[in-house]
Amino acid sequence: MVKFSANLGFLWADIPLPAAILAAKSAGFDAVECHWPYDTAATEIVKALDDTGLAMLGINTFKGDDKGGGFGLSAVPGQQAAARLAIDQAIFFAAQIGVEAVHVMAGKAAGAGAKTVFEANLAYACTKALNYDLTILIEPLNPYDAPGYFLNSLEQAAQIIVRSGLKNLKLMFDCYHVGRTEGDIIGHLRALYPIIGHIQFASVPSRQRPDQGKVDFAEIFSVIDGMGWTRPIGAEYKPIGKTEDSLGWMQGMGRSSLGVKP
């Protein structure tokens, strides 16, 4: 049976992070993840995780300012020092709250210089992460949501991962981004399975609950389960209205959970 993680960057984003963790537990999620937790005290997050028994699967490096377009810094030439400070911050915070993976955000950049900078920063991140048993993730983003983002295709990401030889560098496979630009989500999942470190989903093209849009996520979840994936996959969608009112898909896709409204 597929397990689900609540991405608290979008779900229950209107309440403090510790309260959102409690809400995710009440709704029947198996884990949580978030984007940028740095404004919340680590001790408060740890207490909420301990109280619920949920694991925090991942966080992002600092999104940066307009130099990276608000999408990170790690591929932006001239921002190496700031990018590594962001990596240090994320890894240290992850270690404090027991996070399993850090998504190193590339930022908006292009060209050979950006590629060189990004790969050097990933090597730095992976080396540092080894001390904390952390996985480093990279995620291609689609050009509709993140125009100009350096990492914009699965092929590009796979080449970086394979060429690096870094054992703790993995792919964050977001079904939404793949569905928006590359299609054949199931085919790509199967082809890239050995290098995938985390999976996320949302409806295509609206990025809402997964029982909407043109992608059959019941089929995709079944395929993921059949491939032997045992870790929770991330519900990273934007609910319309209250998060609690958007969770009926969990029952409709074979899951029963406390507090879910159809």
Quick one: which of 153, 125, 127, 155 has its CA closest to 140? 153
Strand runs labelled E in the chain: 4-7, 31-33, 55-56, 58-60, 101-103, 135-138, 169-174, 196-201, 233-235
236 is catalytic: yes
Among 33, 182, 219, 236, the active-site one is 236
Amino acid of residue 243: T
155 is catalytic: no
Calculate the CA dihedral of residues 208, 210, 213, 216 and round it to 10 degrees.
170
Q: 251 CB contacts (<8 Å, ≥6 apart)? A: 257, 260, 262
Give me the residues paired with residue 200 across strands: 174, 234
Among 100, 119, 139, 244, the active-site one is 139
Q: 178 CB contacts (<8 Å, ≥6 apart)? A: 140, 154, 185, 188
Calculate the CA dihedral of residues 31, 33, 38, 43 and round it to 10 degrees.
10
CA 258, CA 40: separation in Å to the nearest integer?
A: 27
CA 182, CA 238: separation in Å to the nearest integer?
A: 21
Which residues are tagged catalytic? 139, 236
